[in-house]
Structure 1
Amino acid sequence: MPRVLGMDPGSKSIDLCGLCDGEVCFEKSIDTLEASRDPARVVEAVEEFGEADLVALPSGYGVEVTRLSDVDTAILEDWYYTFILATTREEVEVGLRKGSVGAFIYDAMGKITRELKRRGVKGVFIPSVINLESIPVHRKLNRVDMGTADKLAVAVLGIHEVSSEHGLPYGKVNYIHVEMGFGYNAVIAVRNGLIVDGVGGTLMPGPAFLTAGAMDLEVAQAIGSLDKNDVFSTGCGPLTGSPTPEDWISKVSEDPLAGVCFDAMMESLVKTVYSMIPVVGGAVEILLSGRVSRNPVVVDYLEEKLGDLAPVRRMKGLPGASTVKETAQGYAVIADGLAGGVFHTLVEHVGVVNARGSSLDYIVHPRFKYSKLGVNYVRLRGFMRSRAFNIEWWSKLGVD
Structure 2
Amino acid sequence: MARQPLMIYVGIDPGSETYAFAFVDELGNLIKYFEICTDLVEKSSIFLAKLIADYRPMAVALPSGHGLPFYNIRNINNREIFILTLKDPLSHGPLRDFLLASKQYLSFYNSFTIPSVIELNSLPNDRKVNVIDKGTADKVASTFFYRVYLKLDNFILVEMGRRFTAIVIVINGKIVDGYGGTYLSGLDGEIAYLLHKYSRIDKSTVYNVGRNLELTRIIVEWYSDKYKLPIIVSGYNKNYLEIGKKYDFKFKEAAVGAAFIANAYSGGLLRHYISMLDSSGTPISFVRLKEWDEIISWIETL
Does the pair score TM above 0.5?
yes
Asked if the contact 2:169/2:177 (under 8 Å) is kept, the reply is: yes
* TM-score (norm. length: structure 1): 0.68
Match for 1:197: what amino acid? D
Higher radius of gyration, 1 or 2: 1
Deviation at residue 316 of structure 1 after TM alignment: 5.5
Match for 2:31: what amino acid? C
Asked if the contact 1:2/1:340 (under 8 Å) is kept, the reply is: no
Number of the residue aligned with 1:70: 75
Number of the residue aligned with 1:276: 223
Asked if the contact 1:15/1:28 (under 8 Å) is kept, the reply is: yes
1:369 aligns with 2:293: yes
Asked if the contact 1:129/1:149 (under 8 Å) is kept, the reply is: yes
Asked if the contact 1:86/1:360 (under 8 Å) is kept, the reply is: no
Deviation at residue 365 of structure 1 after TM alignment: 0.3
1:36 aligns with 2:42: yes
- Return closer, same or farther for 1:183/1:44 CA change in 2, 3 Å cut-off: farther
Number of the residue aligned with 1:288: 233
Give the whole-Å Cα distance in 2 for the aligned partners of 1:2 and 1:214. Answer: 44
Give the whole-Å Cα distance in 2 for the aligned partners of 1:120 and 1:343. Answer: 22
SS in 1 for 2:242: helix
CA RMSD of aligned residues (A): 2.2
Number of the residue aligned with 1:394: none
Give the whole-Å Cα distance in 2 for the aligned partners of 1:30 and 1:41. Answer: 12
SS in 2 for 1:38: helix
Match for 2:213: what amino acid? M
Match for 2:104: what amino acid? R
- Identical positions, percent: 25
Asked if the contact 1:186/1:199 (under 8 Å) is kept, the reply is: yes
Name the structure with the higher helix share: 1
Asked if the contact 1:2/1:336 (under 8 Å) is kept, the reply is: no
Number of the residue aligned with 1:107: 93
1:135 aligns with 2:123: yes
Number of the residue aligned with 1:97: none
Runs of at least 4 residues off by over 4 Å: none
- Return closer, same or farther for 1:141/1:27 CA change in 2, 3 Å cut-off: same
Asked if the contact 1:28/1:45 (under 8 Å) is kept, the reply is: no
Number of the residue aligned with 2:3: none
Number of the residue aligned with 1:383: none
Give the whole-Å Cα distance in 2 for the aligned partners of 1:52 and 1:376. Answer: 36
SS in 2 for 1:87: coil
1:190 aligns with 2:130: no
Asked if the contact 2:224/2:231 (under 8 Å) is kept, the reply is: no
Match for 2:80: what amino acid? W
Give the whole-Å Cα distance in 2 for the aligned partners of 1:189 and 1:221. Answer: 31
- Return closer, same or farther for 1:23/1:16 CA change in 2, 3 Å cut-off: same
Unaligned runs of 5+ in 1: 94-105, 164-169, 205-212, 237-263, 304-311, 381-400
1:227 aligns with 2:182: no
Deviation at residue 23 of structure 1 after TM alignment: 1.1
Unaligned runs of 5+ in 2: 1-5
* TM-score (norm. length: structure 2): 0.88
Deviation at residue 314 of structure 1 after TM alignment: 1.3
| 1:96-175 pair list within 5 angstroms | 107-121=93-107, 122=109, 123-163=111-151, 173-175=153-155
Asked if the contact 1:59/1:125 (under 8 Å) is kept, the reply is: yes
Give the whole-Å Cα distance in 2 for the aligned partners of 1:5 and 1:336. Answer: 8
Asked if the contact 2:81/2:89 (under 8 Å) is kept, the reply is: no
Give the whole-Å Cα distance in 1 for the aligned partners of 2:236 and 2:164. Answer: 10
Deviation at residue 157 of structure 1 after TM alignment: 1.2
SS in 1 for 2:132: coil
SS in 2 for 1:302: coil
Number of the residue aligned with 2:22: 17
| Cα offsets for 1:160-211 (capped at 9, x unmatched) | 2332xxxxxx6xx21110001122110111111111000010111xxxxxxx
Deviation at residue 37 of structure 1 after TM alignment: 3.9
Asked if the contact 1:158/1:315 (under 8 Å) is kept, the reply is: no
